[in-house]
Amino acid sequence: MSTILENNMVATKMNFVSPYALETPSIFYPGRGKTQVYNESYAHFDVVVEDFYKSGQAASIDLQGFQVEEAPTKLRDFNDPSAITSVYYDEVIALVKKVTGATEAFVFDHTIRRGQPSIAHKPAQHVHNDYTHTSAPVRAAERLGEETMQRLAGKRMVQVNVWRSINGVVRQLPLAFMDARSLELDDLVRTEIRYSDSGHVGEIYGVRHRPTQRWYFFPEMTGDQVALIKGFDSKTDGVARFTPHTAFELQENDPQAPPRESIEVRTFAFIDA
């Protein structure tokens, strides 16, 4: 449930790691179109999400940890996997290099999410950061290879997700982003993601709720816009390093609006130190 407040702010509930959790937080993905399931380490808290456009700020991936850019794409069919890899990946790499100042950037995978009952990859409705201090370097080594990692050793490494709506204006389950400046590192909790279909166990950061955390969203994002979300930064001071985020309910929106559909492309970028 959510309520629209003044200045297009939204009072809603978000799914955080409980302060009373007695076990490792775990998220289970059953597959076959079923919604993710959480163990008893999760609980909902009241949160106010602000319209970023009304905040008077300029978004910066190094300051708040997120940034929205106007970035029309030449790709017209996101149901074509070969076109995504041959056309869209190059667009994403160019954008990430432009925004971060990276000398090199690599796409290592992507996910398409559809808010439909029969689709396995649904919008994630838990507050999370996609990588941990440990899992980001491990993932980079796995996907980029030892030779590339050795060649780029000594450079600053940044993990960036590039998110885009592929079903028009977002009117259901928009993304909310925590301002990284309001994140305390103690709020981050190592969390397991368990995939029933493959048996794979991944590691992300769940997040504990804190009243001083600041949350923002960009209302009615279009298919010509992308959100860049920083999941990890090897630089340890002066920049955003992790950016908790989640999809959240907007109950006042048109219930007949088409379900949210999006593509999330994951990248590693390397910046001269």
Do the Cβ atoms of 142 and 241 come closer than 8 Å? no
pLDDT per position as a tens digit, 28-53? 987 666 778 999 999 999 999 999 99
For residue 255, the model assigns a pLDDT of 66
pLDDT per position as a tens digit, 85-111? 999 999 999 999 999 999 999 999 999
For residue 162, is pLDDT > 90?
A: yes
How many C-beta neighbours within 10 Å does residue 121 have?
Answer: 16
Q: What is the pTM of this model?
A: 0.93
pLDDT per position as a tens digit, 205-237? 999 999 999 999 999 999 999 999 999 999 999
